[in-house]
């Protein structure tokens, strides 16, 4: 995945209308070499980004997270998105509600890109024990980034 390029804007100001809409190239999670994401919902994230732009233009938000794309650990329930806690036991489960964290991110108009992998039920420290694959450090695929959020950390460093 190529690095994300972004322009710096003054807080509370929208980019000029002539600015092109960003294009996100998202590989399916199963083909990502580092295995950072279990699922990606680019369409929903783009619609959330549009809502963030509209809220900013209308002056309905002053939150610093408005429009900032985030990734959520697959342990955290997210209404409408498959949440597995990196376990086959929960494979395919779609929660009917949001965790408080997700509710707060949505209220701040922060687009949620997708769900990141972790050790199964967060029971580990190396991120090697997910039912959906081992962690790979994006800088050296033979190593792991480590830590309970290793997959997210590994992806963030690569971006």
58 vs 23: CA distance, rounded Å = 24
Q: Where is 52: in which H helix or E strand?
A: helix 42-57
Lowest mean pLDDT among 18-27, 29-38, 71-80, 126-135: 18-27
Q: What percent of the chain has pLDDT over 70?
A: 71
1 vs 3: CA distance, rounded Å = 7
Q: What percent of the chain has pLDDT over 90?
A: 25
Lowest mean pLDDT among 33-42, 48-57, 91-100, 108-117: 33-42
Residue 2, C-beta contacts closer than 8 angstroms, at least 6 positions apart: 25
Per-residue pLDDT band at 11 (split at 50, 70, 90): very low
* Average model confidence (pLDDT) across the chain: 77
17 vs 36: CA distance, rounded Å = 33
CA proximity to 152, closest of 21, 2, 37, 6: 37
User: Is this structure's pTM higher than 0.85?
Assistant: no
Identify the pLDDT of residue 29.
Answer: 54
* Residues 60-67, mean pLDDT to the nearest whole number: 84
* Residues 3-17, mean pLDDT to the nearest whole number: 47
In our burial notation (b when 16+ CB lie closer than 10 A, e otherwise), range 118-139 reads: bbbbeebeebeebbbbebbbbe
120 vs 110: CA distance, rounded Å = 26
Identify the pLDDT of residue 36.
Answer: 77
159 three-state secondary structure: coil
DSSP string, 13-48: -PPPTTSPPP------GGG-TT--EEEE-HHHHHHH
**Rg for the chain, CA atoms, rounded:** 16
* Residues 15-25, mean pLDDT to the nearest whole number: 48
pLDDT by residue (tens digit) across 99-150?
999 999 999 999 998 888 888 888 887 777 788 887 788 788 888 776 655 5
């Amino acid at each position: 995945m190529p690095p994300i390029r972004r322009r710096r804007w003054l807080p509370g100001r929208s980019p000029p209308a002539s600015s092109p809409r960003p294009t996100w190239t998202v590989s399916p999670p199963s083909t990502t070499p580092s295995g950072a994401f279990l699922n990606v919902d680019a369409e929903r994230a783009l619609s959330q980004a549009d809502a963030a732009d509209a809220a900013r233009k209308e002056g309905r938000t002053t939150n610093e997270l408005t429009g900032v794309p985030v990734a959520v650990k697959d342990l955290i329930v997210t209404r409408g998105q498959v949440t597995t806690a990196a376990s086959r036991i929960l494979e395919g489960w779609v929660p009917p509600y949001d965790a408080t964290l997700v509710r707060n991110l949505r209220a701040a108009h922060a687009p949620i890109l997708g769900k990141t992998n972790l050790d199964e039920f967060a029971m580990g420290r190396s991120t090697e024990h997910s039912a959906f694959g081992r962690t790979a450090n994006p800088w050296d695929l033979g190593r792991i980034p480590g830590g309970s959020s290793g997959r997210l950390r590994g992806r963030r460093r690569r971006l």
